[in-house]
């Protein structure tokens, strides 16, 4: 990952095979309970072979909800805003969360962008911004 004038450039030589992830722990919990959409601005690199990425949010109890976004049809090197409804996020139970666990959208403490861990191919994106819309 490299910092550029436009954002963070993520280039994976091994692909998004578990190392294709970045994000931030928030200094204070954020309330997203009234949000309807999450929007992510990305630039897709010319060598990207990953068909989709994951947006993930963790709450204060470390319950994680995720949503997948297709990127394989995006023109390389053109910044694009992707919009996902908050209602489309689902429990990520690989962390050992109970099937009945629900996220507390009023206490979000982390966000992540993750690659497609099922394929060991190049993952090349430039992260520009993340925003939440009512």
**pLDDT tens, residue by residue, 20-77:** 678 889 999 999 999 999 999 998 888 888 888 899 999 999 999 999 999 988 998 8
Q: Which of 2 and 89 is assigned the larger pLDDT? A: 89
- Rounded CA gap, 13 and 78, in Å? 21
Query: CA-CA distances (angstroms) from residue 48 to 72, 87, 125, 134?
Result: 8, 28, 7, 31
Q: What is the CATH number of the domain that holds 53?
A: 2.60.120.430
pTM value > 0.85: no
Range of the domain at 44: 2-133
Query: What letter would DSSP give residue 75?
Result: P
- Rounded CA gap, 22 and 8, in Å? 10
108-114 sheet: strands from edge to edge: 21-30, 108-114, 52-59, 64-70, 90-91
For the chain, the residue count is 134
- Rounded CA gap, 115 and 72, in Å? 12
Q: How many domains does the chain have?
A: 1
């Amino acid at each position: 990952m490299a910092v550029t004038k436009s954002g963070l450039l993520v280039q994976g030589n091994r692909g998004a095979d578990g190392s294709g992830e970045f994000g931030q722990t928030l200094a204070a919990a954020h309330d997203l309970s009234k949000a309807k959409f999450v929007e992510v601005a990305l630039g897709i690199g010319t060598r990207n072979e990953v068909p989709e990425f994951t947006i993930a949010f963790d709450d204060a109890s470390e319950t994680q909800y995720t949503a997948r976004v297709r990127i394989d049809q995006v023109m390389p090197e053109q910044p694009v805003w992707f919009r996902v409804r908050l209602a489309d996020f689902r429990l990520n139970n690989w962390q050992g969360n109970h099937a009945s666990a629900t996220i507390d959208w009023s206490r979000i403490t982390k966000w992540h962008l993750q690659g497609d861990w099922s394929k060991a191919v190049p993952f090349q994106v430039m992260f520009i911004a993340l925003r939440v819309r009512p």
